Structure 1
Amino acid sequence: MNRHPVLLGAVTALAVGVLAGCSHAVPATPGGPGASAAPVATPDASPSPTPTASAATASAPLRCDDLLTHAQLLAAAQGPHSPANRTVSVTSTAGGTITAETAVQGAGGLSCAWRIAGEGAATDDVVVNAAVLPGAAKDWSAQMFGDAPTAKRRVFAGISAAATCGDPGCGASAAVGSSWVRVDLLTVGLAEGTSVFAGETEDTLFTNAGPAIAAVFATVQHASAAQLRFPSHVGTRATSDCRTFVKPGPLAAAMGVRSTSYADPRYPDSVSDSIAGAAEHRIGVSSCFVNGSGTGPNSTAKITIAPDQAGAVAAMAADPKARGPLKPVTLANQVAGEHALTDCSSSSSPNECSVVFSLGTTAIQVDDGIRSKQIAEAIIAEAR
């Protein structure tokens, strides 16, 4: 799994991992994710779900509140250890990264997240994440929380879905019409038996969550073409080569090493193991791992390029929920209209940190190094 060090806390980190096809699954019940058992078909938890979206909005794109009501969210997230007086609030799983939820939105999809928590019970939060990527049904994969596609299936709104539990939580994913749709319930401590769902079987959990999952599937299934025409920021789809944004000399100087070399760049395939991967392919994301001479903590970095996604950085800069722990920062040689966010510290003992910034119409992220800010400024200087 590609590591995203800048996240909105533990539960949000799980949400990003789910969208990105995170591995290292821990089954919640015997025969968990990736098991070789025959597919499991269970009765539809909501045989005749009513699409949430009103017919009166058939000419406008679906919104998050068209997918699920607060009552459905509360019911889906109900567990034996749920705190009292729970509330539902809109949240974000973007967490200051230009991949995952941000890529889905840039690629013309809808990604929604809600936090269900009791007053003063942050450790008992459940995040419900629903993602829809129109035109991606052909790329659908049954990979959920494990290292391989799961054989488990459950039926929601008459649609067979890969549905199982793993380390981050439980989820269902299916091709619905021409769209790839996924719904997840994410919580800290599921694998350790300390979450709000502790003691519940997968069958019970999906019985509770089934009506909500079915509602999302049914809403997408019955949506008009206009309702699935979400805003997008896909330009020419030309894939940018992350190796071309800064020359070896300036990059080595920024990293404080003698020389640098790039590992093979990563270009997400059209056939992906996750909605986010399919979205990243659509918008032309590329990622490079940089190795510097030496073995010190400043000898590695990761550079991710997202063409035509500068607007996503501006949106994160304006929304504290979306940018997570990152703070606005001014980078040398940036011009009016460009934005930058970072969690890099100026302390004498720096840790690995991240910088997300816009350069013209491009969004760029630098991770996994202690000199991410210097690398970002070297990239900008190269362009100017």
Structure 2
Amino acid sequence: MGTGKRGLLAAAVAVVCTVTVLGAPGAAFAAPDPKPSPAAGSTAPPLPSTASNKDLEAVRAKLEALYHDAAVATDAYNAAEEAAKKQSAEIVELASKIVAGQAKLDGLKDRAGAAARAQYRTGGLPDEAQLMLSDDPSEFLDGAGRVRQGERATTGMISELTRTQQDLEQYSKDASTQWQKLEAGRKTKAAAQKKIEKQIAEAEKLESQLEKEDKKRLEQLEAQVAQEAQTAWLSTGVLDEINSAASDQGKQAVRFATAQIGKPYVWGAEGPDSFDCSGLTSEAWRSAGRGIPRTSQEQWKQLPHIAVKDMRPGDLIIYFADASHVAMYVGDGSIIHAPRPGRTVTVAGAGTMPILGVVRPDA
């Protein structure tokens, strides 16, 4: 390695060693503290093949934090995407109501116009005067009864016309509100996408600048950290208490997730060729006939919580204090999940990341 490249090492180590570690959503990422504070805008030059374990640990921590931030931004992007779908559907429905309401209003106006013309033809005379001028009083009285019925109908028609106009005004206001929400959601989604791309690009740049030998050592370090976390989790005896059988829907969800093993992680993806973490779990349960929220944070908020000791295959394990990652429990202390960019859907230990809690879609 040239001296110039070695000269960049000091700057790299100085940057990454200041990072506060947070386990990112990946099979080989497990750190006890769920709150990273990475130097997000920093640049991390390559490490030499002689990098110490301490240097590589700092790089691992930096990557972990970058991918965690990307996962959080991905959840924000997915939430904005789901909101946009809902708002667009509501706008379409409101547009249909406006069209139908306008047609109804036009019909009511035509009827009101016909009633006005009929009154004009009678000269607008009061009933008493028309009775005195009539050649056949009995015929007039019959007609007068019909007129009164017509007047009541006209009064009802006017009330209906007023209500229809009010409905149209409300539909228009609602549509305007939904458009404003849609526009705000577009901005949120764009900002999230920008952050995702920035974090991933920085992580990929850092990884690409590692020497081949150090990449292998980094992979070994990641695997070691994950194994230590899994071992610590299993040493609590948790598997002795976990013995529940999967439900029929849970079995189907596990079958779906298992069939996706090897497919790449792509942020925002819901299959069929790639997935992000919550895209995998939501599609797995959709295949089992149970729709669940799209994001890991909403899955944590909306689905019933289950004690870890009571979990069964098909349940979803939510990770990190901010619920930024989700995986499917498949039994024997294992999960299937889509870890993070650059990885594929895989089997991992359920204890390789800090567990926030467990939720059950078919509780």
Taking structure 2 as the reference length, what is the TM-score of the superposition?
A: 0.25
More helix by share: 2
- Rg larger in 1 or in 2? 2
Bigger strand share: 1
TM-score, normalisation: structure 1: 0.24
